[in-house]
Amino acid sequence: MTQYVVRRLLLLVPTLLGILFVVFLALHLIPGDPATALLGQHATPQSIAAIRERLGLDKPLPVQFLYYLDAVAHLDFGDSIVTRTPVLVELGERLPVTVTLTVLSMFVAVVAGMTLGIAAAVRRASLVDYLGMSVALLGVSMPIFWLALLMIDYLAVQLHWFEPTGIASVQYLNAVPKVTNFFLIDSLLAGNTSAFWNGLWHMVMPSLALATIPMALIARITRSSMLEVLGNDYVRTAYAKGLPGRIVVWRHALKNALLPVITVIGLQFGSLLSGAVITESVFALPGLGRYIVTAIYNRDYPAVQGAVIVFAFLFVILNLLVDLLYTVVDPRIRYD
């Protein structure tokens, strides 16, 4: 097991190098110039040339890439072209918002998706099955941005149940000291339960909007996997022995149906990180997704490259954790 984990971590290095190269090349192929975006269209050629020299953009692309690799090796992602703030500092401030949104969304998706999938499989070809799969089809078909706008219009504007934007009300943001940059955790550390519930209430609509697609996929995979397991001999034997239905479903069938579900959950967890770009933009959340959109618009190369590295690292680590979780669910699986 240890050797397998070490090998996977070592493979992370060429993976990140490849991602860095692709992103670096793609950014430089985008029409536009960071110096022009920074100074404006009416800037003089002399001022643009001075900015390009100061930012190192006047050097050949291979030289710029090598300089950047050397900086990344020392955990130096450079300074933002726009704000002149170290990218690592900005990522540390914005990543917690994206992680919080992703974790809450995945919690909603897993609970709702597995519940729908199990209920549909146990009551196959019934009204519960048809309604559950209809909800799943609707969830996977509706675009996130459209659902988010509908929720803002109805739940926030018309009913006034939620706040349409932000991670918390202003009075709570100023009252909670930043320790971990996770607002919910910092509010608990400060003993401010009102701020915690306010922040959690602000995340309800973004989490529900982002959770719809993974919820639908998890529901469909859970149903399919459960139907396959429920048809096995050992399940029929458990029923024949007189075991209660809930024991057969939750203890015998579900555990053996979890492997494909775990795979989908791991993949969707990584997809939620990228899906947060749209959700954060609609709900005006100061997360990493919105940060990337702004950085691309401003041709802020260091900011985009730093954010992509973080996304890639999290995605690879999540896949590694999913592989290790297989051995917990099914002890027969061994990584030698």
Residue 30: other Cβ atoms inside 10 A = 11
Contact call for residues 91 and 288 (beta carbons, < 8 A): yes
pLDDT surpasses 90 at 239: no
The chain-wide mean pLDDT, for the chain, equals 83
Q: What is the pLDDT of residues 142-184, one digit of tens each?
A: 888 888 888 998 888 888 888 888 888 888 888 888 888 899 9
Long-range contacts of 96-99 (CB under 8 A, 24+ apart): 96/180, 96/181, 96/182, 96/183, 97/167, 97/183, 97/280, 97/285, 97/286, 97/287, 97/288, 98/273, 98/276, 98/280, 98/287, 98/288, 98/289, 99/182
Q: What is the pLDDT of residues 269-323, one digit of tens each?
A: 777 776 678 888 888 888 888 888 888 887 787 888 888 888 888 887 887 788 7
Which pLDDT value is given to residue 38? 65
In the chain, % of residues over pLDDT 70: 92
Q: What is the pLDDT of residues 193-214, one digit of tens each?
A: 999 999 999 999 999 988 888 8
Query: What is the arithmetic mean of pLDDT over 34-52?
Result: 71
Q: How far is Cα 112 from Cα 251, in angstroms, rounded to an integer?
A: 19
pLDDT grade for 108, boundaries at 50, 70 and 90: very high
- R_g of the chain, CA atoms, integer Å: 24
DSSP, collapsed to helix, strand or coil, labels residue 86 as strand
The verdict on pTM exceeding 0.85 is no
DSSP secondary structure string, 17-83? HHHHHHHHHHHHHSSS-HHHHHH-TT--HHHHHHHHHHHTTTS-HHHHHHHHHHHHHTT---B-TTT
> Topology of 95-167+203-296 in CATH?
MetI-like fold (1.10.3720)
* Chain mean position to CA 76: 24
pLDDT surpasses 90 at 330: no
Residue 79 forms beta bridges with which residues? 86
Residue 239 forms beta bridges with which residues? none
Domain ranges of the chain: 95-167+203-296
Residue 107: other Cβ atoms inside 10 A = 12
Q: What is the pLDDT of residues 109-149, one digit of tens each?
A: 999 999 999 888 888 888 888 888 888 888 888 888 888 88
Which pLDDT value is given to residue 259? 84
Which pLDDT value is given to residue 107? 92
Residue 42 forms beta bridges with which residues? none
pLDDT grade for 262, boundaries at 50, 70 and 90: confident
Which pLDDT value is given to residue 1? 66
Which pLDDT value is given to residue 201? 92
Query: What is the arithmetic mean of pLDDT over 233-251?
Result: 80
